[in-house]
Amino acid sequence: MSAHRVRAVRRLLAVSCLSLVSAGVFAQATGTTTGDLRGRVTDESGAVLPGVLVTAVSREAALARSDTTGSDGKFAIRLLPLAPYRVSAALDGFEPLELESVRVLLGSSVNLELRLKVATVTESVTVGAREALIDPTSTDVSQTIDETMIRNLPINQRDFLDFALTTPGVEADRGPQTGAASTSGLSINGQSPRQNNMLVDGLDNNDQAVGSVRSTFSQDAVEEYQVIRSSFAAEYGRATGGIVNIVTRSGSNDLHGSAFYFFRDDSLAADNALAGTKTPFEQHQFGATVGGPLLRERLFAFGAVERLSVSDANFVAITDPEVLSAIRAAGFMVQSGVVPFDRDRTAAIVKLDWAPRPAHRLSLRGTYAEEKDENQQAWGGLVARSAGGVRRIEDSALAAAGISVLSESLSNEARVLYASRRHRLESLDPTGGVSVAILGVASFGADPTLPQPRDARIFQAFDAVSFFRGNSSYKVGVDYLRNEIEGRLPLYFGGQYLFSGDLGPSSLDAFRLGRPLVFLQGFGDPRLEDSSTEVAAFAQGEWGVGEHVLLRAGFRYDYEDPIAPFPKDSNNWSPRLSFSWAGGNRWRIHGGLGRFYGVVPIAPASLIAIENGDRARIVLRTIEDEPSSAFFWSLPDRRFPSEPEADAIPFTVYRLGGFESAYSDQATVGLEKELSRTLLFHLDYLHARGRKVLIEHNVNPFDPVLGRRLDRLHGDVFAYDSVGNTWYEALTAGLRTGLGRPLELAAHYTFADAEDDHIDWSKNQPQDPLKIGAERGRTVHVPRHRVVLSAVWTAPGRAGEWWRRDWTAAVIADYASGFPYNELAGFDRNGNRDAFSDRPEGVRRNSRTLPDFFNVDLRVARRFLVGRAAVEAIVEVFNLLDRENILEVNNVRYQNAGLEPNPSFGEPTRVADPRRVQLGVRLTF
């Protein structure tokens, strides 16, 4: 870090600290897994009432807590488990007041304005509670998805991570298919899908090897779900993008349970747009939940299990008879057209909650999941099944958490976790032969990065203390996380050949002639066993300025000790400031700014540790070397018979360049206004600037002017450098209704301008790897315009004819303008011997766009009462309009260096699923 940047960070940190000291530090006390009840009590004239006893009682959570209003009439009941509460207020001389079913939501405060009448009768007054649409204590940019949405929205394969895609600023990962190096699947604020933090009950649920997500559990085990985009509290970290915060369900005093089954197959589906006919498909998904008391008012249990079994198919677009004939003549077999694959998953969760006293609550959670996916190393389009990979995973975790309200002014949250993951990704090629890529035509043979077996163990401990004093409080905490990993990375050990149009009329002709541009083969010891450690400390504060302004400030410190050779990083300070100004009863303005650090994925460090030229190495030969790549293509096995024969040849290595932890600087400002008692309008602007993003680039390319590489002792030298950047500006306008109503709706439009100068550290080299700045272009993850609507309507009450009662309808509609993609020339235009990264002359990176995307998913259900139980019949339709949504096209413009057009350029190679109908039934009691 430069001296100028160090001084800037220190100044900002000093301002934050002085603000905390001068105001009296006040923390956002809602916590990661809880919410608050806050408010003010007045008499009929509007005068504040001190000394009022306000009590919140939840039968579901078996909990009762209270607070007494101060001289300003305000009360706060903090760190409440998520549940509906009966809230009562009592003061001598006034009629008691009760509010029924006040729902506490994740990470937010329910604000109540209670007005007591002078006593005239002894009976209490019971009224219905109106949930405030505006939370004046919130300063982050977030959206909570409650139980109604979770239960009823039509989510494909019930993967609750997809709920995040219904919120603003969150896009599906559209980067290259990366198999073993899979991502979280979500790009938040245009940042890397590897740089989000997925939390379950406030604890880590990430596969830090690659920045993806560990296996999850049944959707029916989720209580609430929160996506936090920006201005989040200092308690949250390890993410340059956003936070996905999931809280699991608990048992209660009443015994409840459910069982469900969903089914769909190709008879309920439309034709595949590429195949022109229906493709084989069958899916079964079933499971059950149960929850209730083991010891009433004290000990509760909840459990859920779910099974998914899918038989599906991809369309392999390698169908040209001339191409297939050439491939088979070379001794390779390729399945073309509709090719089947299987995927299955089993997941289970068990949770115990113990409430020894109302002020203390402990929980113990265990999860287990196993899955197999024959499309994990994705194939289809111009990639044959043989070039794909099958993944087998076993995940288990044991977590414990405790919340203690020690006094009216002091509370503590503690959490611990142990998790393990057994990850196996193997090639789908039964022969184990070499990998072949014919640019713009086909890829087949065994994937050169497979197999990739690895095992991981994760340890985490978290503790935070909150102190409350009147209207102010503070929160400080520490978070320890350790990852232990062992595995193998036999990179290119099977060999790989790359063919392009540089050496003939086309890349296909080069393949026919046996003239590969490049050949690679790896040797050595691919094993690794190591660990990484992260320690964080934070302090965060909140205070009020007058009646309408709330300020927050905090800072976070992250220390990281990654896998060698990555160095320890001890200067990651993250100051954060935010505010909320409720200028009126029905509107407010909020905003904030801060710095957010990510973490080093373990995979790049492992790759450098293994493929360093000593432990393992990769031989690279080109058509112009002696012996040439064509010589090895002519061998019976098309590769070196043994390592000694390759010892005298320069080899490719991976090295660590300049490294600093990636971070994003973010700033937000937003407006919320109640249009009615049930409808809220919000307008948000968000700026995010990502820096020091880790990328991979070749720092030893062939120099056509010199006629050689700069380093003659090596072939390609791939360096990992912290030189990547992201730029993101977005404006979102949206509407949402309050939760718990017959119609729950969220709709938003987002205009975004998102750019970056990299795609990922796992694939895709820059056109000129020595000039990263020239790569700046639109990011592939973010469209310019996007509109999303999600809504659930439930027929209210039990009145009316029987056929009009107990219906539920839900919809998710998603429109996006064309996503960017990168156009390739089809040959080595700049002469650096990498034909797979060059664009046509004058073409900017990611300057092409796909057609617009539009999808509608619909769910209709009817419930039938059978005694104390209910049976629900469900029909879901995914891609209701059967629209052909194109996900990938052939992006190679020319066949050769003579600029002969590629006749398949721009043709679709991968599309989204056609319309599919799913039938389901659910029993609840």
Q: What one-character-per-residue DSSP string does 393-459 give?
A: EEEEEEEEEEEEEEETTEEEEEEEEEEEEEEEEEES-TT---EEEETTTEEEES-TT--EEEEEEEE
Tell me what pLDDT residue 3 has.
46
- What is the C-alpha to C-alpha distance for residues 863 and 387, in angstroms, rounded to an integer? 47
Helices (H), 257-368: 321-329
In this predicted structure, which of 64-78, 420-434, 507-521, 690-704 has the lowest mean pLDDT?
A: 64-78
Q: Would you place residue 774 in the very low, low, confident or very high pLDDT band (cuts 50, 70, 90)?
A: very high
Q: Would you place residue 160 in the very low, low, confident or very high pLDDT band (cuts 50, 70, 90)?
A: confident
Across residues 770-796, what is the average pLDDT?
94
- Is pLDDT of 854 > 70? yes
Tell me what pLDDT residue 158 has.
87
- What is the C-alpha to C-alpha distance for residues 141 and 668, in angstroms, rounded to an integer? 8
Percentage of the chain surpassing pLDDT 90?
68
The chain-wide mean pLDDT, for the chain, equals 89
Q: What pLDDT digit, counting tens, does each position of 631-653 carry?
A: 999 988 999 888 887 766 778 88
Across residues 53-66, what is the average pLDDT?
84
Contact 365, 201 (CB under 8 A): yes
Contacts 24+ apart (CB under 8 A), 671-674: 671/587, 671/588, 671/589, 672/133, 672/134, 672/587, 672/588, 672/589, 672/590, 673/586, 673/587, 674/133, 674/134, 674/586, 674/587
- What is the C-alpha to C-alpha distance for residues 806 and 796, in angstroms, rounded to an integer? 8
- Is pLDDT of 11 > 50? no
Tell me what pLDDT residue 31 has.
66
In this predicted structure, which of 256-260, 485-489, 618-622, 818-822 has the lowest mean pLDDT?
A: 618-622
- What is the C-alpha to C-alpha distance for residues 453 and 487, in angstroms, rounded to an integer? 5
Question: For residue 881, how far is the Cα from the chain centroid?
Answer: 27
Model pTM score? 0.89
Count of alpha carbons within 13 Å of 879, Cβ hemisphere only?
18
**378 phi and psi angles, rounded to 5 deg:** -65, 145
- What is the C-alpha to C-alpha distance for residues 603 and 394, in angstroms, rounded to an integer? 19
- Is pLDDT of 883 > 70? yes
Contact 607, 654 (CB under 8 A): yes
Q: Closest by alpha carbon to 654, among 605, 564, 718?
A: 718
Per DSSP, the three-state class of 356 is: strand
Percentage of the chain surpassing pLDDT 70?
94
Q: What one-character-per-residue DSSP string does 599-636 give?
A: ---HHHHHHHHHSSSSSEEEEEEETTSSS-HHHHHTST
- Is pLDDT of 315 > 60? yes
Q: What pLDDT digit, counting tens, does each position of 902-922 carry?
A: 999 999 999 999 999 999 999
Q: Would you place residue 313 in the very low, low, confident or very high pLDDT band (cuts 50, 70, 90)?
A: very high
Tell me what pLDDT residue 362 has.
95
Q: What pLDDT digit, counting tens, does each position of 564-595 carry?
A: 999 999 999 999 999 999 987 789 999 999 99
Tell me what pLDDT residue 62 has.
74
Tell me what pLDDT residue 15 has.
33
Peptide bond just before 565 cis, omega within 30 deg = yes
- What is the C-alpha to C-alpha distance for residues 187 and 223, in angstroms, rounded to an integer? 24
- What is the C-alpha to C-alpha distance for residues 193 and 195, in angstroms, rounded to an integer? 5
Q: Would you place residue 798 in the very low, low, confident or very high pLDDT band (cuts 50, 70, 90)?
A: low
Tell me what pLDDT residue 231 has.
79
- Is pLDDT of 7 > 70? no
Q: Would you place residue 100 in the very low, low, confident or very high pLDDT band (cuts 50, 70, 90)?
A: confident
Peptide bond just before 627 cis, omega within 30 deg = yes
- What is the C-alpha to C-alpha distance for residues 605 and 170, in angstroms, rounded to an integer? 28
- What is the C-alpha to C-alpha distance for residues 533 and 459, in angstroms, rounded to an integer? 9
- Is pLDDT of 796 > 90? no
Q: Closest by alpha carbon to 314, among 272, 269, 284?
A: 272
Contact 618, 700 (CB under 8 A): no
Across residues 222-234, what is the average pLDDT?
90
- Is pLDDT of 16 > 50? no
**Structure tokens, 512:** 């026919």
**Structure tokens, 861:** 């259900």
Residues 6+ apart with CB under 8 A from 425: 179, 180, 376, 377, 389, 390, 391, 392, 450, 451, 452, 453
Across residues 354-378, what is the average pLDDT?
93
In this predicted structure, which of 164-168, 652-656, 844-848 has the lowest mean pLDDT?
A: 652-656
Instruction: Report the run of H or E that residue 578 belongs to, with start and end.
Output: strand 569-584
Across residues 83-102, what is the average pLDDT?
89
- Is pLDDT of 18 > 70? no
Across residues 352-379, what is the average pLDDT?
93
In this predicted structure, which of 318-332, 379-393, 436-450, 751-765 has the lowest mean pLDDT?
A: 751-765
- What is the C-alpha to C-alpha distance for residues 249 and 60, in angstroms, rounded to an integer? 11
- Is pLDDT of 123 > 70? no
Cα dihedral: 191, 194, 198, 203 (round 10): -120
**Structure tokens, 789:** 């609507």
- Is pLDDT of 140 > 80? yes
Q: Would you place residue 122 in the very low, low, confident or very high pLDDT band (cuts 50, 70, 90)?
A: low
Sign of the alpha-carbon dihedral angle for 881, 882, 887, 893: negative
Per DSSP, the three-state class of 357 is: strand
